[in-house]
Amino acid sequence: MGRWFLKGGEEVSRIGALLCGYLLLFLSLLVGFEVVARKLFGFSLQGVDEIGGYILAILGAIGFSYTMLRRAHTRIDIFVVRLGQSTQRMLNVLAALSMAVFAVFMAWRGGAAFFETLEYGSVANSPLATPLWIPQSIWFAGLVLFALTASVLAIWAVYLLARRPDAVNEYFGVVAHQEDANEEARP
Protein backbone atom coordinates (compact mmCIF):
# COMPACT_ATOMS: atom_id res chain seq x y z
CA MET A 1 0.00 0.00 0.00
CA GLY A 2 2.67 2.48 1.01
CA ARG A 3 4.90 2.10 -2.05
CA TRP A 4 1.93 2.37 -4.40
CA PHE A 5 0.76 5.50 -2.60
CA LEU A 6 4.24 6.97 -2.70
CA LYS A 7 4.34 6.62 -6.49
CA GLY A 8 0.77 7.76 -7.15
CA GLY A 9 0.70 10.38 -4.42
CA GLU A 10 4.04 11.79 -5.46
CA GLU A 11 2.84 12.11 -9.06
CA VAL A 12 -0.34 13.95 -8.01
CA SER A 13 1.66 16.16 -5.67
CA ARG A 14 4.30 16.79 -8.34
CA ILE A 15 1.66 17.95 -10.82
CA GLY A 16 0.15 20.16 -8.12
CA ALA A 17 3.59 21.58 -7.32
CA LEU A 18 4.22 22.32 -11.00
CA LEU A 19 0.87 24.09 -11.30
CA CYS A 20 1.71 26.07 -8.17
CA GLY A 21 5.04 27.01 -9.73
CA TYR A 22 3.20 28.43 -12.73
CA LEU A 23 0.84 30.26 -10.38
CA LEU A 24 3.85 31.74 -8.61
CA LEU A 25 5.34 32.80 -11.95
CA PHE A 26 2.02 34.41 -12.87
CA LEU A 27 1.97 36.23 -9.53
CA SER A 28 5.54 37.46 -10.05
CA LEU A 29 4.66 38.84 -13.48
CA LEU A 30 1.49 40.42 -12.11
CA VAL A 31 3.35 42.10 -9.24
CA GLY A 32 6.07 43.27 -11.63
CA PHE A 33 3.46 44.78 -13.95
CA GLU A 34 1.73 46.42 -10.99
CA VAL A 35 4.98 48.02 -9.82
CA VAL A 36 5.85 49.35 -13.30
CA ALA A 37 2.29 50.54 -13.94
CA ARG A 38 2.16 52.44 -10.63
CA LYS A 39 5.60 53.98 -11.03
CA LEU A 40 5.41 54.99 -14.69
CA PHE A 41 1.71 55.50 -15.35
CA GLY A 42 0.12 56.08 -11.94
CA PHE A 43 -2.15 53.12 -12.66
CA SER A 44 -3.06 50.22 -10.38
CA LEU A 45 -4.75 46.95 -11.22
CA GLN A 46 -6.45 46.85 -7.81
CA GLY A 47 -6.49 43.49 -6.10
CA VAL A 48 -3.02 42.16 -6.88
CA ASP A 49 -2.34 41.77 -3.16
CA GLU A 50 -5.62 39.89 -2.77
CA ILE A 51 -4.77 37.52 -5.65
CA GLY A 52 -1.30 37.09 -4.14
CA GLY A 53 -2.79 36.07 -0.81
CA TYR A 54 -4.97 33.46 -2.48
CA ILE A 55 -2.07 32.08 -4.50
CA LEU A 56 0.23 31.84 -1.49
CA ALA A 57 -2.42 30.05 0.59
CA ILE A 58 -3.03 27.57 -2.24
CA LEU A 59 0.70 27.13 -2.77
CA GLY A 60 1.25 26.29 0.88
CA ALA A 61 -1.64 23.84 1.11
CA ILE A 62 -0.66 21.91 -2.03
CA GLY A 63 3.05 22.14 -1.24
CA PHE A 64 2.61 20.41 2.14
CA SER A 65 1.90 17.04 0.48
CA TYR A 66 4.68 17.31 -2.05
CA THR A 67 7.16 18.28 0.65
CA MET A 68 6.04 15.44 2.90
CA LEU A 69 6.36 12.83 0.17
CA ARG A 70 9.87 14.09 -0.61
CA ARG A 71 10.76 14.03 3.12
CA ALA A 72 11.74 17.67 2.81
CA HIS A 73 9.91 19.15 5.81
CA THR A 74 12.31 20.81 8.21
CA ARG A 75 13.86 18.34 10.60
CA ILE A 76 16.33 18.66 13.40
CA ASP A 77 18.43 15.65 12.58
CA ILE A 78 21.59 16.54 14.45
CA PHE A 79 20.39 14.58 17.49
CA VAL A 80 18.24 11.93 15.81
CA VAL A 81 21.11 10.47 13.78
CA ARG A 82 23.05 9.91 17.02
CA LEU A 83 20.31 7.76 18.53
CA GLY A 84 19.98 4.01 18.17
CA GLN A 85 18.03 2.52 15.26
CA SER A 86 15.10 1.41 17.43
CA THR A 87 14.76 4.87 19.01
CA GLN A 88 14.94 6.47 15.56
CA ARG A 89 12.22 4.07 14.40
CA MET A 90 9.91 5.03 17.23
CA LEU A 91 10.53 8.75 16.72
CA ASN A 92 9.92 8.46 12.96
CA VAL A 93 6.59 6.69 13.53
CA LEU A 94 5.66 9.25 16.18
CA ALA A 95 6.52 12.06 13.74
CA ALA A 96 4.37 10.46 11.02
CA LEU A 97 1.45 10.06 13.41
CA SER A 98 1.83 13.63 14.71
CA MET A 99 1.92 15.01 11.18
CA ALA A 100 -1.23 13.05 10.31
CA VAL A 101 -3.08 14.42 13.35
CA PHE A 102 -1.96 17.96 12.48
CA ALA A 103 -2.91 17.58 8.79
CA VAL A 104 -6.35 16.18 9.61
CA PHE A 105 -6.90 19.03 12.08
CA MET A 106 -5.92 21.58 9.40
CA ALA A 107 -8.29 20.00 6.86
CA TRP A 108 -11.09 19.89 9.43
CA ARG A 109 -10.71 23.58 10.33
CA GLY A 110 -10.17 24.53 6.68
CA GLY A 111 -13.36 22.67 5.80
CA ALA A 112 -15.25 24.53 8.51
CA ALA A 113 -14.08 27.86 7.05
CA PHE A 114 -14.90 26.77 3.49
CA PHE A 115 -18.41 25.51 4.34
CA GLU A 116 -19.13 28.63 6.36
CA THR A 117 -18.14 30.69 3.31
CA LEU A 118 -20.54 28.65 1.18
CA GLU A 119 -23.33 28.98 3.72
CA TYR A 120 -23.08 32.77 3.92
CA GLY A 121 -22.09 33.37 0.29
CA SER A 122 -19.12 35.41 1.49
CA VAL A 123 -17.25 37.70 -0.88
CA ALA A 124 -13.97 39.52 -0.37
CA ASN A 125 -14.23 43.02 1.01
CA SER A 126 -12.07 44.41 -1.77
CA PRO A 127 -12.35 46.01 -5.21
CA LEU A 128 -12.43 42.53 -6.78
CA ALA A 129 -15.28 41.31 -4.54
CA THR A 130 -14.11 37.75 -5.16
CA PRO A 131 -16.60 35.06 -4.15
CA LEU A 132 -14.45 33.45 -1.45
CA TRP A 133 -15.61 29.93 -2.24
CA ILE A 134 -13.43 30.00 -5.37
CA PRO A 135 -9.98 30.36 -3.79
CA GLN A 136 -11.06 28.55 -0.62
CA SER A 137 -12.19 25.47 -2.54
CA ILE A 138 -8.72 25.04 -4.08
CA TRP A 139 -7.08 25.78 -0.72
CA PHE A 140 -9.35 23.26 1.01
CA ALA A 141 -8.61 20.62 -1.65
CA GLY A 142 -4.89 21.13 -0.95
CA LEU A 143 -5.48 20.65 2.78
CA VAL A 144 -7.50 17.48 2.13
CA LEU A 145 -4.70 16.16 -0.08
CA PHE A 146 -2.24 16.86 2.73
CA ALA A 147 -4.47 15.13 5.31
CA LEU A 148 -4.88 12.11 3.05
CA THR A 149 -1.15 11.94 2.32
CA ALA A 150 -0.15 12.29 5.96
CA SER A 151 -2.76 9.76 7.13
CA VAL A 152 -1.78 7.09 4.58
CA LEU A 153 1.90 7.59 5.40
CA ALA A 154 1.19 7.35 9.14
CA ILE A 155 -0.75 4.11 8.63
CA TRP A 156 2.08 2.78 6.49
CA ALA A 157 4.65 3.77 9.15
CA VAL A 158 2.72 1.85 11.82
CA TYR A 159 2.36 -1.12 9.46
CA LEU A 160 6.10 -1.12 8.77
CA LEU A 161 6.86 -0.86 12.47
CA ALA A 162 4.73 -3.95 13.12
CA ARG A 163 5.76 -6.03 10.08
CA ARG A 164 9.16 -4.78 8.85
CA PRO A 165 10.69 -2.58 11.56
CA ASP A 166 14.01 -2.24 9.73
CA ALA A 167 12.23 -0.54 6.81
CA VAL A 168 10.80 2.30 8.93
CA ASN A 169 13.97 4.37 8.95
CA GLU A 170 14.51 3.69 5.25
CA TYR A 171 11.16 5.29 4.31
CA PHE A 172 10.62 7.74 7.17
CA GLY A 173 14.07 8.49 8.52
CA VAL A 174 16.43 11.35 7.96
CA VAL A 175 17.47 11.71 4.34
CA ALA A 176 21.19 11.01 4.18
CA HIS A 177 23.33 13.75 2.68
CA GLN A 178 24.45 11.47 -0.17
CA GLU A 179 20.86 10.47 -0.90
CA ASP A 180 19.93 14.16 -0.91
CA ALA A 181 22.78 14.95 -3.32
CA ASN A 182 21.78 12.07 -5.62
CA GLU A 183 18.21 13.38 -5.63
CA GLU A 184 19.38 16.85 -6.65
CA ALA A 185 21.51 15.42 -9.46
CA ARG A 186 18.62 13.46 -10.98
CA PRO A 187 17.16 15.08 -14.16
Structural domain boundaries enclosing 131? 2-185
What pLDDT, on the 0 to 100 scale, is given for residue 129? Answer: 84
pLDDT digits (tens, 9 = 90+) for 15-49: 888 888 898 999 999 899 989 988 888 888 888 88
Classify burial at 37, counting beta carbons within 10 Å of its beta carbon; exposed 0-12, middle 13-18, buried 19 or more. middle
Q: Which residue type does 44 have?
A: S
What pLDDT, on the 0 to 100 scale, is given for residue 184? Answer: 54
| Higher-confidence position of 55 and 44 | 55
What lies within 8 Å, CB to CB, of 176 at 6+ separation is none
pLDDT digits (tens, 9 = 90+) for 65-106: 888 888 877 777 777 778 888 888 898 899 899 999 999 999
Sign of CA dihedral 178, 181, 183, 187: negative
pLDDT digits (tens, 9 = 90+) for 100-124: 999 999 999 999 999 999 999 998 8
What pLDDT, on the 0 to 100 scale, is given for residue 88? Answer: 85
Mean pLDDT of 160-178: 78
For the chain, what is the total number of helices (H) and then of strands (E)? 7, 0
How far is 55 from 139, CA to CA, in rounded Å? 9
Which of 91, 143, 93 lies closest to 115, judged by CA?
143
147 pLDDT above the threshold of 90: yes
Mean pLDDT of 130-152: 92
Mean pLDDT of 156-181: 77
Which of 1, 4, 6 lies closest to 171, judged by CA?
6
* Domain count along the chain: 1
Sign of CA dihedral 9, 13, 104, 117: negative
What pLDDT, on the 0 to 100 scale, is given for residue 185? Answer: 55
| Model confidence, pTM | 0.81
